[in-house]
């Protein structure tokens, strides 16, 4: 059976990093991400309802959008298939981290962007966040992690 049209693009895989009111770092997995303006630089990120990420954002958390590398593939199951409401996802990171905007990010990720919330839109099972880019940093020249990598590794099936 052919893939549905919305499953055809081979999208990059990101993690949206937030922090809870009590200082616990959380990470999710997101692929519904797009830059939507060049000047000012803005991003759209769709955040699944009922998640710790959404809860943190609704409580005013700052956010880092992390472009993952293929070396980060082992984090996808933890970041994307487990809830930050149940586990401390930061404690599951086994690679060196670096500080960016007062939060620790994986050193072997490709890039990180610090985002400031502009507005939100209810989009069904996700909330769309429109963010302004505040700061950014390229961390490595490593290969970007794509949806096709997740399919080939049987992490996702679509």
The residue that leads in pLDDT, 135 or 91, is 135
The DSSP output letter for 90 is: G
Architecture label for domain 8-152: Roll (2.30)
CA angle at residue 32 from 40 to 150, to 5 degrees? 130
CB 147 within 8 A of CB 10: yes
pLDDT single digits (tens) 50-99? 999 999 999 999 999 999 999 999 999 999 988 899 888 898 898 899 99
Q: Where are the domains of the chain?
A: 8-152
Average pLDDT estimate for 98-115? 96
Rg (CA), the chain: 15
- Give the pLDDT score at 31: 96
pLDDT value of residue 133: 98
What integer best gives the mean pLDDT of the chain? 95
* CA neighbours closer than 13 Å in the CB half-sphere of residue 100: 24
Residue 109: which region, alpha, beta or left (left: phi > 0; alpha: psi -120 to 50)?
beta
């Amino acid at each position: 059976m052919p893939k549905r049209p919305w499953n055809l693009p081979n999208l990059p895989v990101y993690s949206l990093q937030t922090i809870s009111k009590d200082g616990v770092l959380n990470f999710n997995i997101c692929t519904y991400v797009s830059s939507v303006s060049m000047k000012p630089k803005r991003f759209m990120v769709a955040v699944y309802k009922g998640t710790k990420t959404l809860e943190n954002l609704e409580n005013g958390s700052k956010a880092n959008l992390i472009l993952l590398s293929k070396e980060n593939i082992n984090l996808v199951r933890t970041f994307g298939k487990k809830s930050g409401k149940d586990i401390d996802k930061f404690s599951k990171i086994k690679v060196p981290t670096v500080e960016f905007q007062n939060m620790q990010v994986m050193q072997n990720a490709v890039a990180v962007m610090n985002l400031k919330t502009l507005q939100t839109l209810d989009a069904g099972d996700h909330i769309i966040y429109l963010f302004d880019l505040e700061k950014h940093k390229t961390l490595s020249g490593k290969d970007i992690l794509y949806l096709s990598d997740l399919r080939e590794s049987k992490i996702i099936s679509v």
